[in-house]
Every structure is written in structure tokens, then in C-alpha cells.
Amino acid sequence: MRAVIQRVKKSSVTVEDKLVGNIGAGLLILLGVTGSDTEKDAAYLADKISNLRIFSDSNDKMNLSLQDVQGEALVVSQFTLYGDCRKGRRPSYGDAARPEQANDLYEFFCNHLGKIVPVETGRFQAMMEVELINDGPVTLIVES
């Protein structure tokens, strides 16, 4: 399981001109699932992300976690995180999980993270428009 996380001042997701997810300060999490991922991977990643010390403290040092700052998370499923661009000019998505498995693990991840911090989501398998205002910017890749 792979996540690209971005520290944001705010972020939102729109599907067919309808707002489906919206957060204030926190993390935008782009989540990719591969065929070998399990619920253990999803729980690990949710715990890891919620505890990463990537928010500034009163001394402007990155010492606080999403939990510490009482931030929110916007989770967007993104199978393209497993696009392999090493050969040719068209990415191969052979490592991405099948939609049924990916959706189950995406929902498990969101539910697990939602027990820790407030969570909003995009819509699985939809064409989404994601807006964000980066904070920093701080962007990290986290894998299980």
C-alpha cells in the first residue's frame, strides 16, 4: 500500500460538480493499493500517517502529528500510484489491486483512520477534481 500525503491548509474533492469531501487544515492522502496488500497493511499505514510528526510546533519545528494538531484527513483512492513507467511511454498498472480488493482496503483504511482523526473521502472509481492549498509544501510518500 502506498500513500502520497500532502500537508494542506484545506482540500476538497468534487465529482460531477458536486462537493463530496472537504477538510480544513490537515492531510490530503492519495492512496494506492496493490494486489498483495492486506488489512494489516492498511491499519499500519493509517497509524503511521496519523502519528507522523510533520506539523510545526510553537518553535516552528516539525514535531507534531495530525492527531496532535487535531487535523483532518481527506483520503482519495488513486490506483495510478502503482503505475510503472519504466518501459515504453504508457504506464502499466499491473501492480494495482483489482477494483473490488482495492475498494475494500480503501474503505478499511478510511474507517481505521477515522477512529483516530476526522476523515473525509473522495468517491472510489470516480473521475474527481481535487483542490488543495499546500502548507509548506510538505509532501511525503509512505508505504506499508
Residue 59 is predicted with a pLDDT of 96
Task: Count other Cβ atoms within 10 Å, centred on residue 96.
Answer: 21
Instruction: Read off the pTM.
Output: 0.95
**Alpha-carbon span 71 to 19, nearest angstrom:** 20
Residues annotated as catalytic are 78-80
**Alpha-carbon span 19 to 88, nearest angstrom:** 37
Q: Which domain holds residue 119?
A: 2-143
Q: What is the number of domains present in the chain? A: 1
Inter-residue contact 35 to 79 (CB < 8 Å): no
Inter-residue contact 134 to 7 (CB < 8 Å): yes
CATH code: domain of residue 43: 3.50.80.10
**Alpha-carbon span 110 to 103, nearest angstrom:** 10
Q: What is the tens place of the pLDDT at every residue in 127-136?
A: 999 999 999 9
Q: What is the mean pLDDT of residues 66-79?
A: 97
Q: What is the tens place of the pLDDT at every residue in 94-115?
A: 999 999 999 999 999 999 999 9
Rounded to a whole number, what is the distance in angstroms from the first to the last CA of the chain?
5
